[in-house]
Amino acid sequence: MFSFSHMAEKDKNPPVADNRDPVPIPAEETSLDPSDWNEFRRLAHEALDEAISYLETVRERPVWQPVPEEVRARLAAPLPKDETPLTDVYRQFTRDILPYATGNIHPRFFGWVHGSGQAGNIVADLLGSAMNSNCGGRDHGAIYVEREVMGWFKELFGFPPESAGLLVSGTSMANLIAMGVARNSLRGDMRGEGVSATAKNLTAYASAEVHSSVVRAMEILGIGSSALRKIAVNPDFSIDLAKLAEQIAKDRAAGMQPFCVIGCAGTVNTGAIDDLEQLAALCAAQQLWFHVDGAFGALCMMSDRLRSRLKGIEKADSLAFDLHKWAHVQYDAGCVLVRSGDAYRAAYSMRPAYLQHISRGLSAGEDWPCDFGPELSRSFRALKVWFAFKEHGTRRIGELIDQNCAQAQYLAKRIASEPELELLAPVSLNIVCFRLLGAGMDSAALDKLNENVVADVQESGVAAPSTTRIKRQLAIRVNITNHRTQRADLDTLVDAVLKAGRLRKKSSGTGRP
């Protein structure tokens, strides 16, 4: 290494400040802090009261309402150049934003797989906001909290101590990160040389019900989505294992390089869970990376009744799941776990000069979260997870998962008892897909009817189911990942669907009822 010892005495010509456009030093220094802390405190407490009342009275409001035109216009203002008193900003928020939420905290929100959050996380979020930690790395309390939380999830899923994990925004990011480890583990020079120089013809495997984020991960990683083989499913929508083995053999014979199988623990359409035990065995025999997308289904590990359905998940090479769904942590919060901490580190760790580890001070402590994914700036997401699990514990959260699954079965029975309704898929966990029937209506007319009825019910504010397609038919999809939902809410939903359907049929199923 070049010696700099001649510089041990002060250089006669030190580098000078870059004075191309010198900024004059202001006479008085200012900050963004409130000029009157008491006034700020008063407003903050008012906002907190409003926030808590908003949650406490959620049942009294419509699930969802469209954003009116005049509000949309106000939410299209130009870049603010001048200051506005915080009170006025807050007033605009309560008028133009607060009334138009997604709706997922409401007991009759059944659209997509959204969690409903929890009151305690408001406390966690305001405290985390005051700390304003950056959790990319370094040695401070937030990093220990994230390590503690990671320890919890290793314990929950039976992952070994040498495994490693990261909190991320959700399962989409977690799938991308885990599949990146799967890819990078193939060859030591993958990071440097890329896929074309090191590993052509890669193929991955998942059921036809696999989530779109896995497809997107294949694209982002440069492998390409056509290299994801979508395997046919059994009648319960789980992956057909024989067909999977067949496809892998066929690909190997054709010179492809199978590298990863993605098992689903709770598919987005119907909540189906693949046979993870058998997938693990197949992957071990075939020397393939076994990743599990457990977005919401993986949390059934907290349910004494449902845990057995996930058998084999503890053998996964990597696992992705959400905390803002069935753990009701506030958005956004998901997690990725990788069995081999070494493989994980080797796939992402990178420490430029300004991030070098030092044994003492702020730069101490290993591992840093930035060693495990693409993000260097990271909020203190671990705090709300820590609060949620500390306050409620896994037993209670698991009981509420059971409650949702029992409610799904209750709904399925109600649907089966209604002559105008038809179940479209078996209820595996918490998702119920059904549709309205109509005498003499063809497939296209039924699709249109059901699509319209879902929009009618959403716009009524009574309930919010969503839609999907089950074997090409447009389905009304009811997802129950909501600790506030009660059986009575499901009856209200069915009544609203039937009513909207009858109105639609009267007016020939087209246009507004």
Contact letters (x/-) for a second copy, 444-483, by CB under 8 A?
A: --x----x--xxx-xx----x-xxxx--xx---x-----x
Dist. CA 243–CA 239, nearest whole Å: 8
Residue 119 vs 249, nearer CB to a second copy: 119
Q: Which two tokens mark 339?
A: 């069995």
How crowded is residue 367: how many other Cβ atoms within 10 Å of its Cβ?
A: 18
Among 363, 492, 499, 505, binds a second copy (CB under 8 A): 363
440 scored as a contact of a second copy (CB under 8 A):
yes
469 Ramachandran zone, left/alpha/beta (phi>0; psi -120 to 50)? beta
DSSP conformation letters of 301-345: GG-TTTGGGGTTGGG-SEEEEESSSTT-PPSS-EEEEES-HHHHH
Name which of 285 and 469 has its Cβ closer to a second copy: 469
User: Is 97 or 284 the residue whose CB approaches a second copy more closely?
Assistant: 97
Cβ closer to a second copy: 243 or 505?
A: 505
Q: Cα separation of 451 and 227, whole Å?
A: 33
The CA distance from 149 to 153, in Å, is 7
Looking at residues 7 to 46 of the shown chain, list those that interact with a second copy (rule: CB under 8 A): 7-11, 14-26, 29-34, 37, 40-41, 43-45
Three-class DSSP labels, 276-313: HHHHHHHHHHHCCEEEEECCCHHHHHHCCCCHHHHCCH
Residue 173, interface with a second copy (CB under 8 A)?
A: yes
Contact 282, 241 (CB under 8 A): yes
- Among 335-343, 361-369, 491-499, 502-510, the segment contacting a second copy (CB under 8 A): 361-369
Number of neighbouring beta carbons within 10 Å of residue 260: 29
Instruction: Please report the sign of the dihedral spanned by the C-alpha atoms of residue 103, residue 106, residue 107, residue 108.
Output: negative
- With 0-12 / 13-18 / 19 or more C-beta atoms within 10 angstroms meaning exposed / middle / buried, residue 380 is buried
The one among 61, 62, 112, 499 contacting a second copy by CB under 8 A: 112
Residues 409, 495, 507, 510: which binds a second copy (CB under 8 A)?
A: 409
Q: Determine, following the binding rule CB under 8 A, whether residue 426 of this chain makes contact with a second copy.
A: yes
Among 392, 476, 481, 509, contact with a second copy (rule: CB under 8 A): 392
Binder of a second copy out of 160, 249, 250, 395 (CB under 8 A): 395
Distance CA 155, CA 161 (A): 9
In the list 78, 161, 255, 511, the residue contacting a second copy (rule: CB under 8 A) is 78
360 binds a second copy (CB under 8 A): yes
**Quick check: 62 binds a second copy (CB under 8 A)?**
no
DSSP designation for 82:
S
How far apart CA 182 and CA 257 sit, in angstroms, is: 13
Site for a second copy (CB under 8 A): which residue of 60, 61, 99, 311? 99
40: helix, strand or coil:
helix
Using CB under 8 A as the binding rule, whether residue 254 contacts a second copy is answered as: no
Tokens of 28: 């008085």
How far apart CA 379 and CA 119 sit, in angstroms, is 20
Q: Which stretch binds a second copy (CB under 8 A): 280-288, 311-319, 378-386, 497-505?
A: 378-386
278 belongs to the binding site for a second copy (CB under 8 A): no
Where in 179-198 is the site for a second copy (CB under 8 A)? Answer: 180, 183-184, 190-197
Report in angstroms how near the CB of residue 44 gets to a second copy at its nearest.
Answer: 5
Residues 6+ apart with CB under 8 A from 238: 207, 264, 272, 273, 274, 275
Q: Which is nearer to a second copy, 24 or 255 (CB)?
A: 24
Question: Which residue number, 292 or 333, has a Cβ lying nearer to a second copy?
Answer: 333
Number of residues counted as binding a second copy (CB under 8 A) = 243
Pick the binder of a second copy from 171, 185, 207, 247 (CB under 8 A): 171
Q: Which of 164, 167, 176, 292 binds a second copy (CB under 8 A)?
A: 176
- Please identify which residue in 186, 208, 215, 256 interacts with a second copy, judged by CB under 8 A: 215
The DSSP line for 119-134 is THHHHHHHHHHHH---
Q: Environment class of residue 289 by beta-carbon count within 10 Å: exposed (0-12), middle (13-18) or buried (19+)?
A: buried
Shortest reach from residue 42's CB to a second copy, in Å: 10
Encoded tokens for 183: 């890819």
- Exactly one of 119, 242, 249, 284 binds a second copy (CB under 8 A); which one? 119
Site for a second copy in 125-164 (CB under 8 A): 125-135, 138-142, 144-145, 147-148, 151-152, 155-156
CB of 251 or CB of 391, closer to a second copy: 391
With the C-alpha atoms ordered 457, 110, 427, 241, is the resulting torsion angle positive or negative? Answer: positive
Q: Which residues contact 207 (CB under 8 A, 6 or more apart)?
A: 230, 231, 232, 233, 237, 238, 239, 240, 264, 267, 272, 274
CB of 285 to a second copy, least distance (A): 26
Contact range with a second copy by CB under 8 A, out of 241-249, 281-289, 384-392, 503-511: 384-392
With binding defined as CB under 8 A, does residue 502 bind a second copy? Answer: no
Asked if 476 and 454 count as a contact pair (C-beta separation under 8 A), the reply is: yes
Please identify which residue in 61, 186, 225, 286 interacts with a second copy, judged by CB under 8 A: 225
Under rule CB under 8 A, which residues in 295-354 are in contact with a second copy?
Answer: 305-306, 308-309, 322, 324, 328, 330-332, 334, 348, 350-354
Give least dist CB 481 to a second copy, A: 12
- Which residue, 75 or 284, is less far from a second copy as judged by CB? 75
Q: Residue 230's Cα: distance from chain center in Å?
A: 22
416 binds a second copy (CB under 8 A): yes
